[in-house]
Every structure is written in C-alpha cells, then in structure tokens.
Structure 1
Amino acid sequence: MSKVKNLLVLPRLRVQNANAISSPMTWGFPSMSAFVGLMHALERKLLVAGINVALEKVGVICHDFEAQATEGGYIRGFHLTRNPVDKTGGTAAIVEEGRIHLDITLIFTIDTAAEESELIAEQIGEIVAGMRIAGGSVVPNHSVPNHKQRPQWVTLDDDEERRQKQFARLKRRWLPGFALTLRDDYLTEHHQTLQQQNPEASLLDAWLDLSRLNHHCALENEGQPNEKPVWQVQRPYRGWLVPIPVGYGAISDLFQPGEVTNARDAKTHFRFVESLYSMGEWVSPHRMKQPEDLLWYVDNDEEAGLYRLNNDYHLRASAQ
C-alpha cells in the first residue's frame, strides 16, 4: 500500500533552454538530480515566504520535448550561440551547451497536511514560475488551456479503493506523456547474462549494451532456394530504455571544511566525486500502480561514498 499522503502537482510547465547534457556521457533530457535540486531550492524559498511545508520526493512526466540540435544523419550537433569577438577582434572560444525545450508536469510529495491547501498550491506555482528548472526558464504554455495548468494539491484518501480512483484520475490528466523510472534490475540482470558468455564482462559492458540497438544478421529460409539475409534488432528487454546518471560516487577521502584550496564553500566538507550511471525506462503514467512508481528521492550512503537518487518502480516491476 502507498504511504504517500499529499501530492502537489504542477501541470504542463513549459521550460525553454533547459540543460540537455545530463552527464559527461549522456544527453537528451535533464538529469533527475536537476529536479531534486529544484525541489530543495523551492523548499528554501517556501520557508522565506512563510509556507511551512516539506517536499520529500519528486516525479517528472514529459509531455513534449524539442532538442536544440541538428536533424538527420548519423551525426548530430547542438545549436550553439555565436559569441561576440574578444578584445583582440578574434573569434571567441565556444563552450558547447546542449539545450532542450520541455513540456513537463512536476509532482512533489508532502507528508504534512495544511489548511488552505489550494491557496498554497497557487502560491507555489507562482514561485516556480520565477525559478530556473534544469537551467531553463519557465514560460507561458499557450498550447494548453489555462485550467489544465492550474497547480493542484491532492490529499489522497486513507481508503485504498478511493485512493486508487484518485490516482487513476490524476494519471488520465497526465496523458499523453512518459515518466522516467529507474531500472537498476535490468542492469544487474543483463550483467549476469553477459558474464555467462564472457566471465570478464563488466557492468560498463552491460550498461553500454543496454544503451544501444544491436543489429544482428540472420538467414531467412535457410537452406532453401529463396534463402536471404535479414537484419534483426536484438533487444534483451522491452520498453523505452535509456542510460541515465543517478548521482555521484566518491573518488577521494572526505576533507574537512577549508582543507581544499579554492573550494566553493569553506564551511562545508569536501570530497571529489564522479558520476554514477544506471538504466532508466520511460513509462506511460497509465501503467503506474501507485505514486511511488514515478517518484525519485535522495538515497545517500556516506560511509560507502555514494550520493545518489533512487526510484522504486523497478521493485514492483521486477516482482511481477
């Protein structure tokens, strides 16, 4: 049974020029850490505004996207800005930036109930309209009627049957769209499969193999006069799978505040990290059984040096 009590829904936000480069090795959609960062920044702004609510988890449903990149061919390039010339009159260096326009719905969980919840939802919607989402600007969405963009505070019923009906109504409003979920189970399972063929296969091999489409040539009507070769796409799992970053892993000891020269913050502990990767799956909201399926949350293990995000969709999906 779901433990979520309240959902704050910000539907059909139009975001222009969000960051499309999610990590050193992936691109195409902002990383979930960008949306968790938005949640933390929003929570701080709410405290300043006198709105005492705690945001714990965040989910993202993408309704439309438009990557600012060239179309066609095997090689694609980002649309880059032409910077002014430098002081010598020469061409200024270009820093590659990937941008994407998004039409998304954000879902936050709030454990505590509040009076005047609809008013609070409207206030939060106004605050988010003035914030950056993954580096992008929130602009009016003229492709959707205003009543479908109104922020919602949904208090889920304690009765399981009524709760399911409430969640079903929300899922219908989120269509058409896809929610990004975590599939750690696919990565682990595929790694074990590759190791049966090659004991030296690593998790990186499994991750790369799941990140691409493998074309295999087979013979049709083998041994017959009409024998011919055909190309087939080999996919170990069904679904829209994508490689995603899920956080950071430590590559150094934890340094005391001020111990590392030129650190951004001299009052906070410091540690060098690198990106952590896993597999994600875009899933239509109508396939979700409970809110936890699409929600992401912080799941750090400081002793192991892991600072990562988690999502519980794979727990239910793999059990089935």
Structure 2
Amino acid sequence: MSGCPEFDYLLVVPHLRVQNANAVSSPLTHGFPSMTAFLGLMWALERKTRAAGLDLAFNAVGVVCHDHQEQVSDGGFVNAFRLTRNPVGKDGKTAAIVEEGRIHLELSLVFAIYSERWLQDPDASAADIATVTKLLDAMRVAGGSLIPRSGSGWSRHKPYAIAMTGSEGDRQTQFRKAKMRMLPGFTLVARDDLLDKRHAELTADNPSASRLDAWLSLSRINWRYEAPGADAASTDKAAWKHDRAGLGWVVPIPFGYGALGPTHAPGTVTNARDATTPFRFVESLYAVGEWISPHRLHTPEQMLWYADSRPDDDIYRCRNDFHAVPATDVAALIANLE
C-alpha cells in the first residue's frame, strides 16, 4: 500500500483508562503495547459495528498516551516485572510462574472512518458514536481491561467525530483544534529515516555493519570520549558525550511480522486458534519509533497507523506516514495556513 487509506472522519475516543495491558510488546522489546495490538482492536471493533448494523469502515488508527505505569519493581539498577502468584494446581503443588508484563495506560484512540451514511446524514453520527463507545467499553485493549467511565471528570472526555470533508484549509483547521485537545500526551510515529541514517553512519566506519547493528545502536545510549582539541588555542575540554542529542524520544518498536514458511490450509495445523483461516508461522519485525507531542503534527496522516500486508513478499506490517519536516518548511507551512 502506497499511503494511508482514504477517510472522511476522525473518531476520537479520549482518555480511556486501561488496566493491565500487555507490556511485553515483542520477544525483544517491552513497555508500550505494539501497534499491531491497536490495529487488531480496530478490526475487531469494525466487525462488531458491522454486526450492529452500522455503516462504518475503520481504515487506520492513532494512539495518544497521556499516562502510563508499567508494573515493574522500582528499586535497584535492573527492574523486574511484578508477577502474580497463581492458585495451586489440582495436585496441590504450586503452579509455575509465567512471566507476564503489565502496564496501566490512559489513552486517546483516533480512528480514521469512512461512512457513506455520515456523509449523507451528518446527524446520524451522534447515535453511531454512542453505539461504538458502548461496544468498545466491552472490549479489551492490548490485553488490558477498560475501566468504566464514571464521575464528573469524564463528562468533558466524551467521544466525538471530526469531519475531514472540506477543503485542505478546513481539514488543517479541524485537525489543529483536535490535536490541541489531545494535550498533554504523546503519540508514537515511525522513524524509519533515523534507522537509515544510523545505518549509513555505521557503514562509513564498518562496511559490514547491518541494519540490525543500526537498530541496536538506536536502542541504547552510546557514549564516547572526546579528547580536547589539538589546537593550542582551542577551548574544548575532554569529555564523555552521548549520541542522543537532538534525537528526541526514540524507541525500538515491533511493527509487524515476517513469514517463516508457507501458508497452511485451514485446520491443518494442530491447536491453531482459528480452524477456518489459513495459518502461517511468523516472527516479529522491528523498526524505530519516536514519541512526539501531537501539537507537532501537521496532518492527521502523520498520526495514523494502517496495515500494509504483502503476503507474496512474506511481510505483514504496520505503516505510518510521519515525515520529519525541517524548521524552514514548518515556517512556510504555518505561513500558508494563516
């Protein structure tokens, strides 16, 4: 897929509280759930809305995190997950501990919606949003449970739809208002460009450096010792410096799956979860993401994630169309919008 699917509305479900979401996002990363979990939530919600008789197509999803609390020990240099002790087995012996990472989250979900009904009858959106919210409240988010909305504080966090059907200027105005309502918070965007840049830097010194080396380099803080300048007049002093300056809040993320073998016919793989769908063994694919404040986004497409599955190429991945804009281009963009 060459770009984000078309949509006419943004459905914003603000400030959802999720308890005990999955914090183990892949075999190599932990913390915030993988974006594949939110795409799965979007598809499951779309199926439920279709079953309820609603004419809604969910084409992409964005996530804004307002608060998080990973369930880990807070003492010592190395943190460990806070695990639960399960009840004893039938034989009276202690059950084995299965390490599970959990995290409490406060999220705003942004769904890219296409609906012929909303285009023909904009007043119908209010009833549909109420139905979608009711369906969503009964679902799990990244394996976590939604805490029911209650109290006077939730009255100002009602779900709402943003029409993106006008001119480009109208779309920018509507999105500018919406992203300010999502503050304070941070949204995850893809930064494949940083991975390409770091790989080029590594290969300049070591031609055999791989993209895995570049990903690992971006996943940690790399310190180096810089000697004082050779010039006698130089005022530079020897110091340890790291390579995170100017990078922002960059994190390693899983962004999809790569096939390990051919596709198997439905029902031919023992213990498969779904016996009516073709089955394929896969492994996680990794990239680099960045947490940024929503007010730095210029278009809704920069926030949204969508599926880009290519079975013939053995790839099932999530994609995001964020592109870093130079400061000079940002000034020009703001001038054109004013």
Normalised by the length of structure 2, the TM-score is 0.87
CA contact (8 A) 1:6 1:113 kept: no
**Aligned position for 1:31:** 34
Give the Cα separation in 1 of the matches to 2:183 and 2:151. 15
Give the Cα separation in 2 of the matches to 1:144 and 1:238. 40
Q: What displacement does 1:234 show?
A: 1.6
**Aligned position for 1:18:** 21
Q: What displacement does 1:122 show?
A: 1.7
- Give unmatched runs, 5+ long, in structure 1: none
Q: 1:135-214 counterparts in 2 under 5 A?
A: 135-140=143-148, 145-214=153-222
**Aligned position for 2:243:** 234
The more displaced of 203-212 and 135-144 is 135-144
Amino acid at match of 2:27: P
Give the Cα separation in 2 of the matches to 1:84 and 1:55. 41
Q: What displacement does 1:135 show?
A: 0.7
Given candidates 54, 58, 74, the residue that maps to 2:57 is 54
**Aligned position for 1:308:** 317
Q: What displacement does 1:292 show?
A: 0.3
Give the Cα separation in 1 of the matches to 2:36 and 2:138. 20
Give the Cα separation in 1 of the matches to 2:327 and 2:277. 39
Q: What displacement does 1:21 show?
A: 0.7
The more displaced of 171-180 and 145-154 is 145-154
Give the Cα separation in 2 of the matches to 1:248 and 1:203. 17
Amino acid at match of 2:180: R
Given candidates 243, 251, 254, the residue that maps to 2:260 is 251
Q: What displacement does 1:265 show?
A: 2.9
Amino acid at match of 1:210: L
Amino acid at match of 2:102: R
Q: What displacement does 1:141 show?
A: 5.5
CA contact (8 A) 1:17 1:99 kept: yes
CA 1:124–1:199 in 2, change beyond 3 Å: closer, same or farther?
Answer: same
- Correspondence 1:110 to 2:125: no
Given candidates 137, 142, 154, the residue that maps to 1:134 is 142
**Aligned position for 2:291:** 282
**Aligned position for 2:333:** none
Q: What displacement does 1:107 show?
A: 0.4
CA 1:3–1:89 in 2, change beyond 3 Å: closer, same or farther?
Answer: closer
Q: What are the Cα deviations for residues 90-116 of structure 1, in whole angstroms up to 9, with x where unaligned?
A: 321000011111010000011224341
Give the Cα separation in 1 of the matches to 2:229 and 2:195. 35
Q: 1:292-307 counterparts in 2 under 5 A?
A: 292-307=301-316
User: SS at 2:310's partner residue?
Assistant: coil
User: SS at 2:216's partner residue?
Assistant: helix
Normalised by the length of structure 1, the TM-score is 0.92
- Give unmatched runs, 5+ long, in structure 2: 119-123, 330-338
CA 1:248–1:204 in 2, change beyond 3 Å: closer, same or farther?
Answer: same
User: SS at 2:42's partner residue?
Assistant: helix
Of all paired residues, the percent bearing the same amino acid is 49
User: How many aligned positions are there?
Assistant: 319
Give the Cα separation in 2 of the matches to 1:202 and 1:318. 31
**Aligned position for 2:70:** 67
Give the Cα separation in 1 of the matches to 2:250 and 2:240. 21
User: SS at 2:311's partner residue?
Assistant: coil
**Aligned position for 1:78:** 81
Amino acid at match of 1:183: R
User: SS at 2:172's partner residue?
Assistant: helix
User: SS at 2:189's partner residue?
Assistant: strand
Amino acid at match of 1:218: E
